[in-house]
């Protein structure tokens, strides 16, 4: 008897992901500092934490992952690091997500800010910006690697694929509550900070379900990572701007949002066919 999948599958498949998520958040706060989260020194230290979790997370899979998966596949394939289907996994889920973001994309194209993205100097400056690297590379990479690639295989020791897709984002959403502490430190009142965190928990949980679905359907880490990076680039849709637009433009933007949502719904199954991605690891149980 011990703390393993054979003896206590439900306990291990629930407790280990909880510990993994807790470890991820704790790694960000091991550094004693009063500096803001956007300060370069804070970001650099948290990059080290992210690198540490990238090493630790696969250990959780090796120790507590689904016995069935571990017996049949190499660890690298279980966490989505494999060659077959990689190109498709890097392209199709990203295109599908862009369809969903049709409304925000049209808003961006109609905005003068879009011209900035066409200037090479903008990208040169971005590559020198620690915040840009955190938001678009390190955070999406480390979060998807820990909460999707390494957490889902552990959940599958007891839960079904559908249950794992629903459960894993809850740990991901709760993990974002640590931003509440940072907002309070900046002087925001507790009530407002809590409401913001609840809102953030809601949309990160919904996104987490989509991201987990992509990981299970494609069997590739690249799919949720690239989609996460793209979503961070686009940001949460600014519905306030839509409402405050002049009538004709408002109607047009609403139409783009609706078309994007409907097209995403209609294309979701077609773009997540497991055979497209040579997904033998997770595809057989869907």
Instruction: Point out the residues that are catalytic.
Output: 143, 176
Maximum separation of any 2 CA atoms in the chain, in Å: 68
Determine contact, residues 96/264, Cβ cutoff 8 Å: yes
């Amino acid at each position: 008897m011990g703390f393993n999948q054979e003896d206590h599958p439900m306990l291990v498949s629930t407790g280990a992901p909880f510990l993994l998520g807790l470890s991820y958040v704790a790694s960000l706060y091991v550094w004693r500092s009063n500096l803001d989260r956007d300060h370069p020194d804070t970001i650099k230290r948290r990059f080290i934490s992210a690198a540490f979790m990238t090493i630790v997370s696969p250990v959780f899979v090796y120790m507590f992952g689904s016995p069935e998966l571990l017996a049949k596949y190499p660890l690298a394939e279980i966490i989505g690091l494999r060659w077959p289907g990689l190109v498709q996994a890097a392209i199709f889920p990203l295109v599908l997500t862009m369809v969903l973001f049709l409304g925000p994309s049209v808003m961006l194209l109609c905005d003068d800010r879009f011209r900035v993205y066409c200037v090479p100097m903008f990208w040169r400056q971005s590559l020198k910006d620690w915040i840009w690297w955190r938001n678009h590379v390190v955070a999406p990479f480390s979060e998807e690697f820990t909460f999707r690639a390494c957490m889902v295989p552990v959940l599958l020791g007891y839960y079904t694929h559908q249950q794992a897709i629903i459960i894993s984002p809850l740990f991901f959403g709760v993990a974002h509550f640590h931003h509440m502490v940072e907002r309070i430190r900046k002087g925001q009142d507790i009530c407002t900070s809590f409401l913001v965190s609840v809102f953030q928990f809601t949309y990160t949980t919904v996104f987490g379900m989509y991201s987990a679905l992509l990981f299970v359907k494609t069997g590739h880490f690249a799919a949720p990572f690239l989609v996460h990076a793209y979503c961070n680039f686009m940001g949460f849709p600014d519905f306030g701007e839509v409402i405050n637009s002049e009538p004709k433009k408002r109607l047009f933007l609403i139409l783009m949002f609706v078309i994007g949502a409907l097209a995403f719904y209609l294309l979701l199954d077609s773009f997540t066919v497991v055979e497209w991605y040579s997904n033998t690891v997770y595809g057989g149980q869907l």
